[in-house]
Amino acid sequence: MDTAALPPRALDILQSVFGYAAFRGQQAEVVAHVAGGGNALVLMPTGGGKSLCFQIPALLRQGIGIVVSPLIALMQDQVAALQEAGVRAEFLNSTLEWPAVQDIEKRARAGELDLLYLAPERVLKERTLELLDSLPIALFAFDEAHCVSQWGHDFRVEYLQLAQLAERYPAVPRIALTATATPATRLEIIDRLRLTGARTFLSGFDRPNIRYRIASKESPRKQLLRFIREEHAGQSGIVYCLSRKSVEETADLLAENGIDAIAYHAGFSAAEREQRQDRFIDEDGVVMVATIAFGMGIDKPDVRFVAHLDLPKSIEGYYQETGRAGRDGLPAEAWMVYGLADVVQQRRLIEQSDAAESYKRVSNAKLDAMLGLCETVRCRRQYLLEYFDEQAGPCGNCDNCLSPPAQFDGTEAAQKLLSCIYRCERASGYSFGAQQIIDVLRGERTDKVVERGHEAVSTFGMGADMSEAQWRAVLRQLVMLRLVTVDHEHYNVLRLTEDSRAVLKGERRLTLRQDAAPAAGARRGRKAARGAAASGSAGGPAQLTPQQEVVFQALREWRRGIAKEHGVPAYTVLHDSSLAEIAQRMPDSQMALGGVSGVGATKLARYGTAIIDVVRATRQQAA
Ligand code: ADP
Ligand code: ZN
């Protein structure tokens, strides 16, 4: 395939409109290819800079760029950011009043728009197609293209119909973009979106600034509270829970403990959700406690942590959710607690769904890969990247690398546990749950142990040398390995499986993970987190001197005012990283200010004088 040359104007646009000095990673190649009329599939990690890959070709090519984006919030923020940079961009979605829709359509027809964002369900409406038929179209961009994958976690049925665009507008280049795609999903995207002859641009998936940590679940909310208080006080973060109830209880607990936490789930009205989301995006240091209904398309760059109180269904989901941390490239954490109940719950959700058998099989395989990540003693990042078909060495920035977990020969422990399940069942004629089995193993004379006569079974007290938490960890791993099943139809009792026999007979040996003693990993994390927040402003970028810090805070205050006035999120005016650079350089002329990354011509013209005034006034104060 020929490699198209980068049009010289591309660099001009990058610098004058977006204020960036150079293209990053594969951006230049993608821009050249698409500007030259080619189809493309772009896989880049979150924060990698996908947007410029279609925005700049749209500005280079004749006509209007049509961007299909699955979420209204995402669209609105991208359009707000483009308008701030002086680009003629608009969106059409259900939030607009009729006169506004007509006005935008009119401007599109008059050739006054460079980019138009649309929701997928809107694209194929008759009215939209008529509009598109009447316009010169520069390109189609499909953001979050993994939504087309039926096996995926964000499947959107409307995405399937986008293939029609290939037939209706065969000469218009099409570019699909995503941050999550296994090799199988990549093929699916190309096939379903008919990206004929598309070139695939594959960037590494690694997010080196994110530290991965997965600990065993003891008392999850307390663990979370400690994590936030000790390591991320005052910082922005997202906490994911599976159920609405758990979302609300967790948000309440955090709020009672002085953390600025808000809840978000599909039970709130659309208006309420929007208001909560806006608070999270616009204000500093808010913790959003949410179901996975929250977050797709959240571009907030300074999310310092993503915490999971419940196990995600798949690595794709986990990677996408944790990927919302640290888009600005500064240190961030992905933190999760997980336990036996999570394994049981997720398996039950799959079994009880009325999906086809083939779908259940895929779902089970995905869950197993996710469980493998939780139990691995290897580098978590390595494991994650291998899942996406990428090779890497140990990272030095995950819990397993920082404090390598011990492994032990768990054969004997497993035999004791399996045989205890068997003996108790034999003694009583029916099966028991985890608590009873562990109590018997540990030789606890609880009421239930005494009543059932389980003091008399041969495994009574045979496991007194291990703590309850250790036994739970062993059981969790046996369930994960399908050596024990949990019967959810019958009070979660434990049962042996066909595979248990080989372990009981000593034909199969098991190596198990020894869970770290609680809080061991935490201390190291805290030190690093403190380093990240060294500027004094929770999670602020770069190291600033006290004087620079004063200027930085004054610039943020000024930015808050502008964002309010324009009704846009603060970061679309200028990023923290740009404000920090201004505070460091303290430019005293428009020329000098124009050299700051993220300050393009439009922003310079609009805000240059105001910014220089803020710098002047505060630097004197602070001196
Ligand atoms: P993605 O959609 O891949 O998650 P974005 O397109 O939102 O990423 O870009 C992530 C961040 O990186 C944005 O703040 C963007 O302005 C910035 N960025 C993108 N390209 C460049 C570049 N060439 N130089 C500097 N910053 C860039
Ligand atoms: Zn690692």
Residue 519 has pLDDT above 50, yes or no: no
What's residue 302's pLDDT?
87
- Choice from 16, 52, 53, 146 to test ligand 1 binding pocket (greatest atom count within 8 A of CB): 52
* Nearest ligand, CA 569: 1
Residue 372 in tokens:
């493998």
Atom of ligand 1 nearest to the CA of 179: 3
Write out the two tokens for 559.
């930015």
Measured from the Cβ of residue 408, the count of other Cβ atoms closer than 10 Å reads 14
In the reported structure, the alpha carbon of residue 572 is separated from the centroid of ligand 1 by a whole-number distance in angstroms of 12
For the chain, first and last CA: distance in Å? Answer: 59
Q: Considering only CA atoms, which of 202, 165, 169 is closest in space to residue 41?
A: 202
- pLDDT band at residue 523, thresholds of 50, 70 and 90? very low
**Ligand 1 midpoint to CA 28 (Å):** 13
**For position 527, what pLDDT does the model report?**
38
Query: 532-559: per-residue pLDDT in tens?
Result: 333 333 344 557 888 998 999 899 899 9
pLDDT tens-digit series, residues 309-324: 999 999 988 998 999 9
CA of 96 to the centre of ligand 2 (A): 46
Pocket of ligand 1 (CB under 6 A): 20, 23-24, 27, 44, 46-52, 299, 301, 327, 575, 597
Average pLDDT, stretch 238-256? 96
CA of 328 to the centre of ligand 1 (A): 9
| Residue of 362, 35, 356, 392 whose CA lies nearest to 207 | 392
Tell me the pLDDT tens digit for each residue of 187-236. 889 999 999 889 999 888 899 999 999 999 999 999 999 999 999 998 99
Rounded CA-CA distance 617/615 in Å is 6
Ligand 1: residue of 12, 20, 42, 54 to mutate (most ligand atoms within 8 A of CB) is 20
DSSP code for 538: T
Query: Got the DSSP string for 275-338?
Result: HHHHHHHHSSSPEEEE-TTS-TT---TT--EEEESS--SSHHHHHHHHTTS-TTSS-EEEEEEE
Which ligand neighbours the alpha carbon of 373 most closely? 2
What is the C-alpha to C-alpha distance for residues 241 and 252, in angstroms, rounded to an integer? Answer: 13
Ligand 1 pocket mutation, candidates 71, 299, 320, criterion most atoms within 8 A of CB = 299
Q: Looking at residues 497-515, what average pLDDT do you find? A: 92
Strand partners for 202: 43
At residue 15 the predicted structure's pLDDT band, cuts being 50, 70 and 90, is very high
Q: How is residue 457 annotated by DSSP?
A: S
The count of C-alpha atoms lying within 13 angstroms of the C-alpha of 440, restricted to the half-sphere facing its C-beta, is: 29
Three-class HEC string of 163-208? HHHHHHCCCCCEEEEECCCCHHHHHHHHHHCCCCCCEEEECCCCCC
List the Cα angle 481/486/487 in 5-degree steps: 145
Q: Which range, of 45-49, 490-494, 508-512, averages the lowest pLDDT? A: 45-49
**CA 158–ligand 1 middle distance (angstroms):** 27
Ligand nearest to the CA of 46: 1
Q: What is the pLDDT of residue 201?
A: 93
Q: pTM to 2 decimals?
A: 0.74
**pLDDT band, residue 388 (cuts 50/70/90):** confident
- C-alpha pair distances (Å), 493 with each of 218, 470, 487: 21, 19, 5
Q: 3-class DSSP state for residue 269?
A: coil
What's the confidence (pLDDT) of residue 4? Answer: 78
Q: Residue with structure tokens 């779908």?
A: 359
pLDDT digits (tens, 9 = 90+) for 114-143: 999 999 989 999 999 999 999 999 999 999
208 alpha carbon, closest ligand: 2
Say which residue, 50 or 295, is predicted with more confidence.
Answer: 50
Q: How far, in Å, CA of 16 to CA of 19, rounded?
A: 5
**Which residue bears the tokens 């004054």?**
554
User: Residue 114 phi/psi, 5° resolution?
Assistant: -95, -35
The first and second tokens of residue 17, run together, are 């409109």
Residue nearest to atom 25 of ligand 1 (CA): 20
Q: Could you say which ligand is closest to the alpha carbon of residue 27?
A: 1
pLDDT at 112: 96
Angle formed at CA 147 by CA 101 and CA 300, multiple of 5 degrees = 70
**How far apart are the CA of 53 and the centre of ligand 1, in A?**
10
Phi/psi for 198 (5° steps) reads -65, 145
381 alpha carbon – ligand 2 mean position (Å): 5
Q: What is the CA radius of gyration of the chain?
A: 27
State yes or no: pLDDT of 531 exceeds 60: no
Cβ(587)–Cβ(610) below 8 Å: no
Q: Whose CA is nearest to atom 5 of ligand 1?
A: 49
Tokens of 156: 């959107």
Q: Supply the residue whose CA is at minimum distance from atom 26 of ligand 1.
A: 20
Domains with residue ranges and CATH for the chain: 3-202 (3.40.50.300), 210-404 (3.40.50.300), 407-514 (1.10.10.10), 540-622 (1.10.150.80)
Q: Strands (DSSP E) along 491-566, which ranges? A: 493-496, 511-514
Q: Is residue 180 over pLDDT 80? A: no
Cβ-contact 329, 209 below 8 angstroms: yes
pLDDT tens, residue by residue, 577-595: 899 899 999 999 998 999 9
Q: Degrees (nearest 5) of the Cα angle 109, 110, 116?
A: 55
